[in-house]
Structure 1
Amino acid sequence: MYVRTFGPPEAPAVLLLHGGGVAGWMWDPLRERLGDGLRLIVPDLPGHGGSSGEPYRSHDRTVRELAGLLARENPDGPAAVVGFSLGAQLAVLLAASRDDLVDRAVVVSAQAVPTPFPALTVGLVGATAGLARRRWFARLQAKELFVPESLMEDYVRTSAGISRRTLTAAVGENIRFTVPAGWAGFPGRALVLAGERERGLMLDSARVLHGALPGSGLAVVGECGHGIPLQRPGWLAERLRAWL
């Protein structure tokens, strides 16, 4: 995977995992507000951005690759993982399966209640995948994701580079996701976030993830839809600094 790192090597490590259809650049507004006291590890997930040459295949395969990345980039101790949407599901899986590598997890807008009739949804996504390469359609999608104008060209470029194979695999994994068994036994700290204006399914998912892990925190973020890191990066940076 294509990876960028920021901050001093000796600082506490934080792995930032972006959502589907975007790339590591989505964390730029948050990263600029977090300051210099952390070491940020920011990959482009398979099939996205700088990693678009290798298609997204599955959550399990990606989690194995992320575990290898953490072992290489942070060999001296466990790291915090912050994930959004698709990346939040990966954060849950990493915490659930590799608590030797992860001791804190921030889960932002993760779906954990499966979508009804997933095959129908994936088929529709596959049939319309070509629209993502059209600039007008990409800009419409960007607004739904609260991408600011300053990052619009990054989104348009990323959207054009996502293959049908990546899109259908990532969406299929996302809408079928359920809470993994190991999540209930995660010994570290966890915080689950969702926007108050998200779909009911997403708010239910946040409650399910929180309820499945005793001692985890839960916050519903006011005036936000499915886009907390881009809608309220200042608020999220302040919350993360205090929590981390």
Structure 2
Amino acid sequence: MYVQLSGDRDGRPVVLLHGGGVAGWMWRLTTDLLPAGLHLIVPDLPGHDRSSGEPYVSHDHTLTELITIIEKEADQPVAVAGFSLGAQLAILLATQRPDLVDRVAVVSAQAIPTRAAGLTLGLLGATAPLAKYEWFAKLQAKQLFIPASLKDDYLRTSALISKRSLVAAVGENIRFTAPPEWAGFPGTALILAGERERGFMRSSARSLSDALPGSELEIVSGCGHGIPLQRPDWFAKRLRDWLST
């Protein structure tokens, strides 16, 4: 798995986990506005962009690799912020290895399984080849709130992702529920969802917050499924404030 490291190696370690169909570059708008003293650990998840040579197999498989990376690169517990697919992985990291994670920001995580998931995946498999076409990727970029400055990164990532990785990642995403251990996570948890996301996404955020006493829930006004890309200045400030408390 490709990992981009930046900032101060001795600083507060922060792991940023991107969503499905994008890659570590989605955090560029955020990291440019974060304090210089942080130690930033930003992987491209399996199947995505610079890690496209390794297929996405499962959340569990990816989690094992992420744990290895954190153990190697961080000398103290990390803060993890994840978006969408990455937010689900952030939850799993926090629940399975609370010794490695002392705070977690969960941004737009689906935690209520999709009905008729098999049908959804069948349709996805049939349309997956379209991701290779630039015209289709441009339409998707608009839906995902990809700004002009990151559009080339998105088009490259979209062209590289395989049907196998796409179906595996989406399958894990739409079947996800938080493990029972989430209720016992001892660290700090921030849960965000967009005001304009689909209802089950807002319900997912509320269910995650209800399950973890002491967690903080915020529904972000004016945002759909793309908070860090739609409102990068607001998100970076929210993350800075969250990291400093």
Q: Is the shorter-chain TM-score for this pair beyond 0.5, marking a shared fold?
A: yes
Q: Deviations over 1:64-91 (max 9, x none)?
A: 11011100000x2110000000000000
Q: What is the match of residue 142 of structure 1?
A: 141
Instruction: Tell me if 1:49 matches 2:49.
Output: yes
Taking the TM superposition and a 5 Å limit, the aligned residue runs for 1:156-171 are 156-171=155-170
What's the counterpart of residue 13 of structure 1?
13
Q: Aligned partners of 1:149 and 1:121: how far apart in 2? A: 30
> Deviations along 1:153-200, whole A, 9 cap, x unmatched?
100000000000000000000000011111111000000000000000
User: 1:240 deviation in Å?
Assistant: 1.1
**Within 1, Cα distance between the matches of 2:218 and 2:6?**
27
Residue type at the aligned position of 1:59: H
Q: Secondary structure at the match of 2:32?
A: helix
**SS of 1:34's equivalent?**
coil
Percent identity between matched residues is: 66
The structure 1 segments of at least 4 consecutive aligned residues displaced by more than 6 Å after TM superposition are none
What does 1:1-244 align with in structure 2 at a 5 Å threshold?
1-74=1-74, 76-244=75-243
Partner of 1:193, secondary structure, is: strand
What is the alpha-carbon distance in structure 1 between the residues aligned to residue 104 and residue 3 of structure 2?
A: 20
Aligned pairs, number: 243
The alignment yields a C-alpha RMSD, in angstroms, of 0.6
- Please state how far the C-alpha of 1:35 moved relative to its aligned partner: 2.7
SS at match of 1:33: coil
Query: Which string of whole-angstrom CA distances, capped at 9 and with x for unpartnered residues, describes residues 8-28 of structure 1?
Result: 101100000000000000000
- 1:28 match: secondary structure: helix
Give the residue type in structure 1 aligned to 2:160: G
Report the Cα distance in structure 2 between the residues aligned to 1:158 and 1:77, rounded to whole angstroms.
32
TM-score for both structures, normalised by structure 2: 0.98
Structure 1's unaligned 5+ residue stretches are none
